[in-house]
Structure 1
Amino acid sequence: MMTALAAAKAYASTQGIGGSKPVGGAAEGGLDFGAMVKSAMTDAMHASKHAENQIKANVAGKAELIDVVTSISAAEASLETVMAVRDQVISAYQEIMRMPI
């Protein structure tokens, strides 16, 4: 089973995030967290739509079963990545709320 942190790191590496890039705000020319989350959500939505289209094409006899399985796996991986990022954000928020002032 993939951990939430491993999924987030895998997504970051496939998107070219991290490494030598600066991690500042959008105004500083760095990575914008909101844009990254929006991109992850959009990617997950597109993967899901593609999987649905492959299923429809398979039912119509226009697509192979392996294409359906591959697209469903890609959609599942995208969804797991989004959920892992969500879990990490919630965990960070809860940790900040526990900090004494």
Structure 2
Amino acid sequence: MLEAISSITSAIDKANTLSSTRAVQATRLAPAAPSQSVDFGDIMVQVASNAAQTLRAGESAAIAGIQGKASVQQVVEAVMSAEQALQTAIAIRDKVVAAYQEISRMAI
């Protein structure tokens, strides 16, 4: 799990480096005003950073549970939330790969 988190973290760092000119101010998606434009890259950075934070929280809750500092319910909730975030990240990755493959098959 640590390797998965570190790979997600490195991907997030790369995305943040690429979009360094655009500051992501909110950690949650806020409804956009009609006059504002929303950048898809910023949304994906937010989703990835939220997933990484959720995975870190689940891992730290599991460690706290092993040390006896967290209840079983807290550990289960954090781990289930991390699992859901990981499944969402995998689903997004699969869709991106499928879209790339479809685009690469298009005739120019």
Shift of 1:29: 3.2
CA RMSD of aligned residues (A): 2.4
Shift of 1:21: 7.3
Shift of 1:85: 1.1
Q: Which residue of 2 aligns with 1:45?
A: 52
- Which consecutive residues of structure 1, in runs of 5 or more, have no partner in the other structure? 1-13, 23-27
CA contact (8 A) 1:40 1:78 kept: no
CA–CA distance in 1 between the matches of 2:29 and 2:95? 18
**Counterpart residue type for residue 46 of structure 2:** S
CA–CA distance in 1 between the matches of 2:33 and 2:93? 23
Q: Which residue of 2 aligns with 1:35?
A: 42
Does residue 100 in structure 1 map to residue 107 in structure 2?
A: yes
Quickly say closer, same or farther: Cα 1:86–1:55, change in 2 above 3 A: same
CA–CA distance in 2 between the matches of 1:95 and 1:73? 33
**Counterpart residue type for residue 92 of structure 2:** V
CA–CA distance in 1 between the matches of 2:86 and 2:43? 14
CA-to-partner distance for each residue in 1:33-73, whole Å, 9 max, x for gaps? 21122112111111111112111221222211111111111
Aligned length: 81
Higher RCO (Cα < 8 Å, 6 or more apart): 1
CA–CA distance in 2 between the matches of 1:82 and 1:21? 27
Identity value in percent: 35
**Counterpart residue type for residue 36 of structure 1:** I
Could you state the TM-score of these two structures normalised by the residue count of structure 2? 0.63
CA contact (8 A) 1:47 1:75 kept: yes
Q: Which residue of 2 aligns with 1:74?
A: 81
